[in-house]
Each structure stands twice: as C-alpha cells, then as structure tokens.
C-alpha cells in the first residue's frame, strides 16, 4: 500500500479528511476579506480583487504588499512577496464551518499549515474591515 503524504497516517484518514473539504467559489473569495494565520507566522488580512490581484495587510505592523490569486478546481492558490520572502499558499474549503485549511510554502523551502477564515460571512457582503 502506498503511503499518503505525512499529513495523514493512512489512506482511510486521508479519505475522511477529504470528505470534510469542498471547492471554494470565486464569488465567496472576493466578497469579503480573509484572516490568515498559523502558530508560526504573522497573521495577515487578504483582500481578493475580482481581477485576480490580492492586497495583503499585516495585522500587527504597517506591512502591506500585493500578490496574485487563482482558483483551479475549487482550490485557491495565492502567491506574494513580503519582507523579502516568497509565499505560496493553497487554500481548501471546509464543509463544516468557515475556517478553511491551507498549506503555505515560504521560499520554496519551509512548509506550514494555516487556518483561513472570512472576516464576515459572504451573504453579508463587504467585510468588517473594508
């Protein structure tokens, strides 16, 4: 039996994990800002634009940058540079709530798991920080 990558111990665990995921929609991505965080990283606020551009704000300093996003098969891919580091993030929607899962790779080297959440629910329109 082939082993699933280190995130899941076996194929059964992977299937259970995958059943809790869903495809993200472009309409929900651009309808509000998103809070992105992990144990090891600075938290960011992502503002997705309809033209596949992205504005990123750091939550604890005046840092700001721009990047790009793409949606393919319901997986949201983000790439940007911040403080001389390149961030490549893939976000997968969650079926059971508004906190989504993401894998972040920094400088094509370090990987980290992230949590991503909309700041306001998509049905309410603009985010609280807009």
Domains with residue ranges and CATH for the chain = 22-119 (2.40.128.20)
Tens digits of per-residue pLDDT, 5-43? Answer: 445 556 666 666 667 788 899 988 998 889 999 888 789
The residue with greater pLDDT, 7 or 63, is 63
- Inform me whether the pLDDT recorded for 129 exceeds 50: no
CB neighbourhood size of 100 (10 A): 20
pTM of the model: 0.79
Cα–Cα distance, 52 to 46 (Å, whole number): 12
Measured between alpha carbons, how far is residue 57 from residues 16, 34, 60, 108 in Å?
34, 10, 9, 22
- Containing 96, the helix (H) or strand (E) segment is none
Query: What pLDDT does residue 95 have?
Result: 87
Q: Which pLDDT does position 107 carry in this prediction?
A: 94
Query: pLDDT digits over 87-128, tens only?
Result: 999 999 988 878 899 999 999 998 888 999 988 655 555 544
Element (H, E) at 53: strand 53-58
């Amino acid at each position: 039996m082939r082993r699933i990558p280190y995130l899941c111990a076996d194929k059964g665990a992977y299937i259970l994990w995958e059943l809790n995921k869903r495809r993200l929609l472009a309409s929900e991505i651009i309808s509000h800002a998103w809070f992105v965080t992990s144990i090891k990283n600075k938290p960011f606020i992502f503002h997705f634009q309809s033209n596949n551009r992205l504005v990123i704000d750091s939550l604890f300093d005046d840092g700001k940058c721009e990047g790009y996003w793409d949606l393919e098969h319901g997986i949201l891919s983000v790439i940007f540079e911040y403080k001389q580091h390149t961030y490549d993030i893939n976000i997968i929607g969650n079926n059971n709530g508004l906190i989504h899962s993401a894998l972040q790779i920094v400088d094509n080297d370090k990987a980290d798991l992230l949590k991503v959440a909309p700041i306001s629910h998509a049905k309410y329109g603009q985010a609280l920080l807009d």
